[in-house]
Amino acid sequence: MQEYDIVAIGGGPAGLTVGLYGGRYGLKTLVLEKELVGGAMAISPLIENYPGLEPIKGMDLTERMKRQCQFYGAELRELTKVTTIDPDEKILTLSTGEKIKAKVIIFTTGSRARKLNVPGEEQYTGKGVSWCATCDGHFFRNKKVIIVGGGNSAAIEALHLAGIVGELYMVHRRDKLRAEEAYMKKIEEANINFYWNSIVKEIIGDGHKVTAVKLQNVKTDEITEVPVNGIFISIGYDPNSELAVESGIETDENSYIKVDLKMQTNIPGIYAAGDITGGQKQLTVSCGQATTATMNAFLYLHGGKWYL
């Protein structure tokens, strides 16, 4: 059975940061990713808000992070799923049947944006379909877009887009938003239009980019085709915390992993970082939390009683 000082479960920006810092600390570090390393970062057409970098393609930034991890000695494994964890012994069982022993485990499993599950959504992801206004809003400067959702997240995304795009419409299945009153007042003041009692039935494109969406009124069943350049989907996120829950790690009411200031969970030697902890889902936040988790993991392994 192979043994590692640190095993990060999840190969997005948080997991890659664990690999970087673990390697630099001279710790035997393994990053496991059930799909392809990079996660949502890898499929982002352009990242414009990573400090110190000019706008860069998500895949290019992913490759840079991978090379950096490997340069400092971290091991990366793609297409490798962790199926079970013994939290007391910190033994991980992989989908291949292999068992791995870890002195420290860091959950960097992230979250997944809820999808509409309509025709065209997958085809035009990154070609007009987005789940992050902060990431992709500038691609739609002075263009016509819609945002789907009615909660706080959708309201925040809409307010961000309102100062960038030419025309902005919010699509909501009810006749009023669920957002907090403070956001409602700001939305009323912004130049935002609405399609109430409506849902998206199809996303239409020309093969290269989004050109329109089909909306259905849930009360009248009327179908309307609306020409747009882009669609932002903001109907919530679901944390990838199933494995953590099965392992006895505490989560909050929304199933995000609960951590302290050290990014440690309720089980000593098991940490979590990035989107899986809730909060702002931003690349820089994930990297910062992973840095904190790995530095404190180093102290944990060396008997440290304080945190950085």
Angle at 279 between CA 301 and CA 113, to 5 degrees: 110
Q: What are phi and psi of 104, to 5 degrees?
A: -135, 140
User: Residue 156: what residue type?
Assistant: I
Strand partners, 104: 6
Q: What is the DSSP string of 140-206?
A: GTTSEEEEE--SHHHHHHHHHHHTT-SEEEEE-SSSS--S-HHHHHHHHHS--EEETTEEEEEEEES
Q: Which residues of 164-173 are buried (b: 16+ CB within 10 A; e: fewer)?
A: bbeebbbbbb
- Determine the Cα–Cα distance for residues 251 and 238; give it in Å rounded to an integer: 13
69 labelled catalytic: no
According to DSSP, the β-strands at 2-9 and 193-195 are: unpaired
287 labelled catalytic: no
* 3-class secondary-structure state, position 56: strand
Q: Which of 135, 175, 238, 252 is catalytic?
A: 135
* 3-class secondary-structure state, position 238: strand
Strand partners, 56: 47
Q: Which of 69, 132, 275, 287 is catalytic?
A: 132
132 labelled catalytic: yes
Q: Which of 136, 175, 275, 287 is catalytic?
A: 136
Catalytic positions:
132, 135-136
